[in-house]
Amino acid sequence: MERIEITVHALNQARALGLGLDREDLVRLLAEFAQKAAIVTHPDGTRRFGGYVLDMDDHSVYGIFQLESGVWICPDCHGTQQHLMRDGKAWIEVPCQNCMEWVREA
């Protein structure tokens, strides 16, 4: 797995978005976002993961922004609406329970 560098600016933006406070946790989270992100054309960045846009190049994350400002993003799946779950020896994607409950309440 390639090492992803996270800038202080991106960490501060992630804190402001409510993704956490602990530096180590945020570095791990943003690196995971970067590794799973899809290429996107957006004014704020080049990659997308769930409800977030990352301003990044191949191995560095310079910033993180909400895809749609003011829209609720699930704190469990970060807007992907999916979770990985063990099914015997394999991993499968299952719908995010938190998102399903939020949709029922809305």
In the chain, what are the domain boundaries? 1-70, 74-106
pLDDT at 66 over 80: yes
- Four-point Cα dihedral 92, 94, 98, 104, nearest 10: 180
pLDDT at 106 over 60: no
Question: What's the pLDDT at 20?
Answer: 94
Nearest Cα to 55, choosing from 42, 43, 68, 45? 45
pLDDT at 60 over 70: yes
Q: Which residues partner with 55 through β-bridges?
A: 63
Residue 10 or 81, more confident = 10
Helix (H, G, I), strand (E, B) or coil at 32: helix
For tokens 């560095």, the residue is 60
- Average pLDDT for residues 32-60, to the nearest whole number? 93
CB atoms within 10 A of CB 42: 13
Residue 18 or 83, more confident = 18
What's the mean pLDDT when you consider all of the chain?
89
Residues with Cβ < 8 Å from 13, sequence gap 6 or more?
63, 64, 65
Calpha distance 30→9 (Å, rounded):
12
103 pLDDT tier (thresholds 50, 70, 90): low
